[in-house]
């Protein structure tokens, strides 16, 4: 049982109440960007070439076509880091003289309908000179490779290095060195709703309202105002219901800048909705990395040191605001994972190529580094002749607080405990017996583990450590009880499927002794919500939830002070419960609605001792906390087709205090589904000319309900000392552990053939190729 707030009889935290967000969505009453009518519709002419100079753009007579030459005075998008040898790289809003990836917007076409705009796009003659594109990061690093940007010599836009003292001495003491050459192929987040924007001019105020599919409304407003050189107060940004973000919708889209520019220039309304092909080729990609990892172990299988080289293909430009450093720098900082060792040597490079720009995607680099690190553990277990559970048991962090070899501080967690929970539930000895019996019948079963730490809810100190010019982190909440007694929480976070309206209401309800149905959470509107950083990085419940709790505690204190005057009782005797303030041990009470009315309309009664109104503001900026989990997958691999079927999937998860178990389970389920896609199916493929070959969902394969098994969940709650709510984030964990667990299971199934797959996704074609390489398949 979750402990309730002292002095409150309410215990909403810890209950699996239904999400307040769902009724509108499941009944078709959701409010999405593409639902808005507009006078004008916009389509974008996109580059069909990966590299080359723009030689000519010939447009049809009478068509409204906007190119870079029209955007006089409009600045490029310029994300900045002040560390790691970062090379500032501006992205033009529309390609300016040169194109650098297939899908880059070259021109904006305006017409009275989408269909008419699309027809005009087809009539434009675009001539691009020949240039040899660089698609693979290793080719871009090769000596003598063509320089994609004049400001990025050698195509290396940033480089991070870590080496701990005495690394060489520790490395030399190793009994065994195990190596993993991992390859993660490129992905797209594929939200169910692609990007969309609607910009409308208000003649009465001279303002523009941009409604768009963003995860960061306030920063979107700040960035567009900067790029266009307009007052920020003249732009309102609204994020309505958003059909999935996953990180792809947190970066500033050049298309949004164009729509605001059009609305201001022509003083009208303009709309754009991305189609699926555009989303797959031109919306942000992720996780195109090579990782070379070497682990030094002593004779007992204890990890002593890691040495790694990370090459991250960041695409043609740098994403705003996180910059292209988000993947390589996260990989460098978090590569040590949940394991206890002291010596670490890492080089991480971001490399520009003629491909779509990269941006955060659920888990960012952690699915890759967890996959690589867990492949290392599986190979080490085999080299030392022990079960995979045992090698982890000997190496997982057990004492807290713990400072990693990369300098990160881990709060209290349960790495070993969740491993043991998962191993016991899966019954490893029983599986090995079934595996042996199956192999005798020509069936190949495998068991794979994926243990990891998930850094969550980190505030501005973590982002400042990267040297970001724009340092996100804190969140502010304004909590108001209105004169009718209803409660409104205005938040800077911007949820889009996380159930935050429900969980925040549960937190407030416990503090104020009310039911969640009298609480409304307002978000996603820069005119209504306080400045905040939006929703990403498993942060909202920790940071926004923390600010909400602090604001609720302030309102609670004021309610108690009001009640002590009205009821003529000592503040320490006042209890808030069942929607009223009560004097403990008596029948005297006053409703919270009545107190709220007094706070606004009877202020003279308090003789200046209590300020009018009932509203409090709170800001929270924590250092961050680490969730953890152990995933286990049981698979069957058909060696004739290369197909992998997931037979069983189990997660033992620790995300601290669970505010709403149903929502927590849903977050894990969704993450695991995406992680299975990462492990087995999803891959953006380019040909040698930089042309995407996966421009439809017939080619870019995502898992369906048929491929995702029932997911068994075991929860452990280790309250965080670094989070005021005691909760930890868990939004990304499902996607972090799944690729490692699934591909380790595939390798376990194929052990009789001495097949090794250190690449994801492990598609049927790759499985068959690995078997053929060992002479085991036709």
Sign of CA dihedral 24, 28, 34, 35: negative
Alpha-carbon distances of 525 from 198, 211, 216, rounded to whole Å = 14, 9, 10
Check: CB of residue 44 under 8 Å from CB of residue 281: no
pLDDT at residue 1 greater than cutoff 60: no
Write down the number of H helices and E strands in the chain. Answer: 19, 31
CA 350 to CA 137: how far, in whole Å? 9
pLDDT at residue 442 greater than cutoff 60: yes
Q: What angle do CA 389, 409, 375 make, to 5 degrees?
A: 30
Determine the average pLDDT of the residues in 660-680. 97
How would residue 10 be classed by pLDDT, with cut points 50, 70 and 90?
low
- pLDDT for 777: 66
Check: CB of residue 134 under 8 Å from CB of residue 146: yes
What dihedral do alpha carbons 524, 528, 530, 536 form, nearest 10°?
0
- Which of these ranges, 110-124, 353-367, 436-450, 596-610, has the smallest mean pLDDT? 596-610
Check: CB of residue 7 under 8 Å from CB of residue 511: no
CA 513 to CA 552: how far, in whole Å? 11
- pLDDT for 608: 81
How would residue 8 be classed by pLDDT, with cut points 50, 70 and 90?
low
How would residue 7 be classed by pLDDT, with cut points 50, 70 and 90?
very low
pLDDT at residue 707 greater than cutoff 60: yes
Among residues 7, 17, 6, the alpha carbon closest in space to that of 515 is found at 17
Among residues 688, 689, 692, 709, the alpha carbon closest in space to that of 700 is found at 692
* Residue pLDDT, tens place only, 117-169: 999 999 999 999 999 999 999 999 999 999 999 999 999 999 999 999 999 99
Give the residues across from 649 on adjacent strands: 633, 711
* Residue pLDDT, tens place only, 454-497: 999 999 998 998 899 999 999 999 999 999 999 999 999 999 99
* Residue pLDDT, tens place only, 505-519: 999 999 999 999 999
CA 573 to CA 571: how far, in whole Å? 5
- pLDDT for 2: 37
Please enumerate in sequence order all residues whose Cβ is within 8 A of that of 643, keeping only pairs 6 or more positions apart, or say none. 637, 764, 767
CA 174 to CA 177: how far, in whole Å? 7
Among residues 434, 336, 428, 446, the alpha carbon closest in space to that of 390 is found at 428
* 3-state DSSP of 108-166: EEEECCHHHHHHHHHHCEEEECCCCCCCCHHHHHCCCCCCCCCCCHHHEEEEEEEECCC
pTM for the structure as a whole: 0.96
CA 592 to CA 510: how far, in whole Å? 14
The rounded percent of the chain whose pLDDT value lies above 90 is 96
Determine the average pLDDT of the residues in 561-569. 95
Looking at residue 225, what DSSP letter applies?
A: H
CA 376 to CA 452: how far, in whole Å? 13
Phi, psi of 394 (to 5 degrees): -80, -15
Check: CB of residue 21 under 8 Å from CB of residue 523: no
pLDDT at residue 4 greater than cutoff 50: no
Looking at residue 588, what DSSP letter applies?
A: -
CA 454 to CA 451: how far, in whole Å? 10
Alpha helices (runs of H) in 458-544, residue ranges in sequence order: 460-464, 500-512
Residue 347 tokens read as 């080089």
Cα-Cα end-to-end distance for the chain: 58
Check: CB of residue 423 under 8 Å from CB of residue 451: no
pLDDT at residue 6 greater than cutoff 50: no
CA 532 to the chain's CA centroid: 17
Among residues 709, 708, 701, the alpha carbon closest in space to that of 681 is found at 701
Sign of CA dihedral 207, 212, 216, 220: negative
How would residue 269 be classed by pLDDT, with cut points 50, 70 and 90?
very high
How would residue 3 be classed by pLDDT, with cut points 50, 70 and 90?
very low
Determine the average pLDDT of the residues in 699-704. 96
Query: Mean pLDDT for the chain?
Result: 96
Among residues 549, 176, 131, the alpha carbon closest in space to that of 381 is found at 176
Determine the average pLDDT of the residues in 420-438. 98
CA 285 to CA 690: how far, in whole Å? 14
């Amino acid at each position: 049982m979750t402990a309730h707030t002292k002095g409150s009889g309410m215990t909403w935290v810890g209950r699996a109440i239904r999400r307040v967000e769902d009724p509108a969505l499941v009944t078709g009453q959701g409010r999405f960007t593409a639902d808005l009518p507009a006078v004008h519709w916009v389509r974008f002419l996109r580059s069909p070439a990966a590299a080359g100079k723009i030689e000519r753009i010939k447009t049809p007579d009478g068509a409204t076509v906007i190119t870079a030459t029209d955007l006089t005075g409009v600045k490029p998008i310029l994300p900045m880091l002040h560390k790691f040898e970062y090379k500032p790289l501006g992205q033009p809003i529309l390609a300016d003289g040169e194109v650098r990836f297939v899908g880059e917007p070259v021109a904006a076409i305006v017409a009275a309908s989408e269909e008419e705009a699309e027809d005009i796009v087809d009539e434009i003659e675009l001539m691009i000179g020949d240039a040899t594109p660089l698609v693979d990061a290793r080719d871009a690093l090769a000596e003598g490779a063509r320089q994609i940007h004049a400001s990025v010599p050698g195509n290396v836009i940033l480089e991070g290095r870590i080496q701990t003292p005495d690394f060489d001495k520790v490395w030399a003491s190793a009994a065994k060195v195990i190596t993993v050459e991992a390859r993660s192929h490129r992905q797209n987040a594929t939200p169910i709703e692609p990007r969309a924007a609607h910009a409308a001019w208000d003649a009465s105020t001279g303002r523009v309202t941009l409604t768009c599919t963003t995860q960061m409304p306030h920063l979107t407003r700040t960035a567009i105002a900067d790029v266009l050189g307009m007052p920020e107060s003249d732009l309102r940004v609204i994020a309505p219901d958003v059909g999935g973000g996953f990180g792809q919708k947190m970066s500033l889209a050049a298309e949004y800048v164009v729509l605001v520019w059009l609305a201001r220039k022509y003083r009208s309304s303009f709309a754009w909705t991305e189609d699926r092909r555009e989303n797959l080729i031109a919306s942000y990609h992720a996780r195109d990395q090579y990782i070379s990892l070497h682990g030094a172990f002593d004779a007992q299988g204890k990890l002593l040191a890691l040495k790694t080289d990370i090459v991250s293909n960041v695409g043609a430009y740098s994403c705003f605001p996180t910059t292209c450093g988000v993947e390589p720098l996260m990989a460098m900082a978090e590569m040590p994972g949940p394991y206890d060792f002291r010596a670490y040597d890492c080089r991480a490079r971001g490399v520009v190529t003629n491909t779509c720009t990269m941006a955060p995607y659920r888990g960012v680099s952690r699915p890759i580094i967890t996959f690589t690190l867990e492949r290392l553990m599986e190979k080490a277990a085999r080299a030392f002749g022990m079960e995979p559970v045992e090698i982890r048991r000997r190496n997982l962090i057990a004492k807290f607080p713990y400072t990693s070899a990369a300098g990160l501080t881990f709060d209290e967690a349960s790495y070993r405990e969740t491993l043991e929970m998962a191993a016991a539930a899966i019954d490893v000895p029983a599986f090995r017996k079934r595996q042996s019996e199956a192999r005798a019948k020509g069936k190949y079963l495998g068991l794979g583990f994926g243990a990891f730490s998930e850094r969550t809810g980190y505030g501005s100190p973590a982002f400042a450590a990267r040297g970001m010019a724009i340092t996100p982190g804190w969140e502010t909440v304004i909590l108001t009880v209105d004169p009718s007694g209803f409660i409104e929480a205005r938040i800077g976070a911007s949820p889009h499927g996380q159930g935050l309206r429900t969980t925040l209401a549960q937190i407030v309800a416990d503090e104020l002794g009310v039911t969640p149905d009298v609480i409304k959470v307002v978000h996603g509107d820069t005119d209504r919500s306080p400045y905040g950083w939006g929703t990403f990085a498993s942060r909202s419940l920790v940071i926004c939830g923390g600010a909400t709790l602090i604001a609720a505690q302030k309102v609670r204190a004021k309610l108690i002070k009001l009640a002590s005057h009205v009821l003529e009782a000592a503040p320490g005797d006042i209890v808030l419960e069942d929607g009223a303030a009560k004097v403990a041990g008596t029948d005297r009470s006053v409703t919270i609605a009545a107190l709220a009315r007094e706070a606004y309309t009877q202020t003279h009664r308090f003789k200046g001792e209590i300020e009018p109104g009932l509203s409090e503001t709170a800001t929270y900026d924590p250092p961050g906390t680490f969730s953890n989990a152990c995933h286990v997958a049981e698979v069957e691999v058909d060696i004739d087709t290369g197909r992998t079927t997931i037979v069983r999937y189990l997660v033992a998860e620790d995300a601290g205090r669970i505010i709403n178990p149903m929502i927590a389970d849903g977050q894990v389920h969704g993450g695991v589904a995406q992680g299975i896609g990462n492990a087995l199916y999803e891959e953006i493929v380019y040909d040698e000319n930089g042309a995407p070959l996966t421009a439809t969902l017939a080619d870019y394969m995502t898992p369906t309900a048929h491929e995702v098994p029932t997911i068994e969940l075991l929860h452990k709650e280790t309250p965080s000392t670094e989070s005021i709510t005691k909760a930890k984030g868990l939004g990304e964990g499902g996607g972090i552990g799944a690729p490692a667990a699934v591909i380790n299971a595939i390798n376990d199934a194929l052990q009789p053939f001495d097949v090794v797959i250190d690449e994801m996704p492990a598609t049927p074609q790759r499985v068959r190729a690995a078997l053929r390489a060992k002479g085991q398949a036709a």
